[in-house]
């Protein structure tokens, strides 16, 4: 067993209050689909700005206007329920535009810039759009959205608290301050929360469906957190930005949501709760 250092960013009252404020804004916006979609778009574009800054540190910035159009396009298609018709066109257009416009810039790292641009669109456009899909589920979309937000938020918070209190075993070298104990504790809390939420009216799912949703969403959320940690490590920075006081950047705060929302939506289909198109 290897002893590891605690999270270098201390758990302060200000940090906790900012975290609750961010969650409250997100949950309150769920009541209005258009407001929630605008919030999702704002988060995606802010995260894209920070991702571009990370790429600039590496000397390979994105084809930024192309990436912005791609992210807006994905969320727009989701909001207007046109993804199944036009996603192929959008992705093809973004790919061609990234390669074409890239030829007029610096030739060094040409392929890396274009590849990063397409990847950024998928990472921050495609993945974030799943929250729009979840919110737009007829009749229960608002409750499903609250479900996934609560499970991911509890994964983040409980993992941090449990890891800080009893964490001893390093989870991965990618993020040396995350621990096995924190990860397992977060998984347990998220699974319990998913089980409890699922059986409530108006969802009224089977308890085991809630448990599966909790497990899958928590694991994906933790994976998303590690992916963003890898991006920062690759760029040689500790935080993606400073937009959210006490929490770093938007990428730092919402990294777990990108993968978590995708997993939650996918498992809804696998469990038969939502019908496949």
Do 63 and 127 share a domain, yes or no?
yes
Cβ count near 63 (within 10 Å): 25
Token duo for residue 245 = 């006081």
**Contact present, 70 and 121 (Cβ < 8 Å):** yes
Report the alpha-carbon distance of residue 105 to residue 62 in Å, rounded: 11
Number of domains in the chain: 2
Last residue of a domain, one of 136, 152, 168: 136
Q: Give bridge partners of residue 248 from the DSSP assignment.
A: 244
| 149, 179: one domain | yes
Residues 75 and 197 in one domain: no
Same domain, 158 and 21: yes
Residues 88 and 153: their CA atoms lie apart, in Å, by 32
The domain boundary residue, chosen from 105, 136, 167: 136
Residues 242 and 167 in one domain: yes
24-67 pLDDT tens trace: 777 889 999 999 999 999 999 999 999 999 998 888 889 999 99
Tokens 């469906």 sit at which residue? Answer: 209
Q: Which of 8-17, 36-45, 68-77, 230-239 has the lowest mean pLDDT?
A: 8-17
196: exposed, middle or buried (Cβ count in 10 Å: 0-12, 13-18, 19+): middle
Confirm if 134 and 265 have CB atoms less than 8 A apart. yes
Domain that includes residue 49, residue range: 32-136
DSSP three-state, residue 95: helix
**Cα-to-chain-centroid distance, residue 270:** 20
Same domain, 26 and 152: yes
pLDDT higher than threshold 60 for residue 104: yes
Beta strands in 81-197 (DSSP E): none
What is the pLDDT averaged over residues 253-260? Answer: 94
CB 151 within 8 Å of CB 218: yes
- Residue 143 CA to residue 27 CA, distance in Å, equals 10
The answer on 144 and 90 residing in a single domain is: no
Structure tokens at 122: 């998928």
In a shared domain, residues 143 and 234: yes
**Residue 155 and residue 274 in one domain:** yes
Print burial letters for 146-177: b (CB count within 10 Å at least 16), e (below 16). Answer: bbbbbbbbbbbbbbbbbbbeebeebbeebbeb
Q: Cβ neighbours of residue 46 under 8 Å, at least 6 residues apart? A: 243, 250
Averaged pLDDT, 200-211: 94
If asked whether residues 25 and 77 sit together in one domain, one would say no
Q: Is the per-residue pLDDT at 85 higher than 60?
A: yes
Tell whether the model's pLDDT for residue 220 goes beyond 50: yes
How many angstroms separate the CA atoms of 133 and 226, rounded?
Answer: 24
- 8 pLDDT exceeds 90? no
Residue ending a domain, choose from 136, 166, 196? 136
Same domain (yes/no): 102, 181: no
Co-location of 60 and 183 in the same domain: no
Band (pLDDT 50/70/90 cuts) for residue 19 is low
């Amino acid at each position: 067993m290897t002893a590891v250092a605690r999270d270098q960013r201390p758990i302060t009252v200000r940090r906790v209050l900012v975290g609750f404020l961010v969650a409250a804004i997100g949950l309150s916006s769920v009541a209005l689909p258009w407001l929630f979609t605008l919030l999702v778009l704002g988060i995606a574009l802010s995260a894209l700005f920070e991702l571009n800054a990370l790429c600039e540190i590496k000397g390979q910035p994105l084809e930024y206007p192309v990436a912005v159009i791609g992210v807006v396009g994905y969320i727009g298609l989701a909001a207007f329920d046109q993804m199944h018709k036009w996603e192929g066109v959008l992705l093809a257009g973004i790919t061609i535009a990234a390669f074409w416009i890239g030829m007029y810039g610096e030739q060094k790292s040409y392929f890396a810039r274009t590849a990063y641009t397409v990847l950024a669109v998928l990472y921050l456009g495609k993945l974030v759009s799943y929250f729009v899909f979840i919110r737009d589920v007829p009749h229960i979309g608002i409750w499903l959205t609250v479900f996934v937000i609560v499970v991911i938020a509890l994964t983040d918070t409980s993992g941090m608290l449990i890891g800080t209190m009893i964490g001893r075993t390093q989870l991965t070298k990618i993020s040396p301050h995350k621990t096995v104990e924190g990860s397992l504790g977060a998984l347990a809390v998220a699974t319990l929360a998913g089980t409890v939420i699922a059986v409530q009216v108006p969802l009224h799912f089977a308890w085991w469906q809630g448990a599966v949703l909790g497990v899958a969403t928590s694991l994906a959320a933790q994976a998303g957190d590690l992916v963003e940690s890898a991006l920062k490590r690759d760029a040689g920075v500790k935080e993606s930005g400073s937009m959210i006081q006490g929490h770093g950047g938007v990428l730092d705060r919402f990294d777990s949501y990108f993968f978590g929302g995708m997993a939650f939506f996918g498992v809804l289909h696998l469990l038969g709760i939502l019908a496949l198109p």
